[in-house]
Amino acid sequence: MEVYLIGKCLCGTVKFSVADRFKAFYLCHCKQCQQLTGSAFASNIFTGPDNID
């Protein structure tokens, strides 16, 4: 059985679902990721484009 993760933006305009088939997961603490996220790190999940609905 394949597990799907679903999500949306706060206003609900953008919605997505993705199967739990990820290639990699990274936590990055570099300066660029800190600036982009406004936090101490960024969480990055990599998957193929065909996995996102």
| 33 assigned to some structural domain | yes
| 32 assigned to some structural domain | yes
* 15-25 core/surface letters (b: 16 or more CB in 10 A; e: else): eeebeeeeeee
Number of domains in the chain: 1
Domain containing residue 51: 21-53
| 12 assigned to some structural domain | no
The helix/strand count (H/E) of the chain reads as 1, 4
pTM over 0.75? The answer is no
Distance CA 4, CA 47 (A): 13
| 36 assigned to some structural domain | yes
Contact by Cβ (8 Å): 20, 52: no
| 10 assigned to some structural domain | no
- At residue 9 the predicted structure's pLDDT band, cuts being 50, 70 and 90, is very high
| 51 assigned to some structural domain | yes
- Tell me what the pLDDT averaged over the chain comes to: 91
| 16 assigned to some structural domain | no
| 7 assigned to some structural domain | no
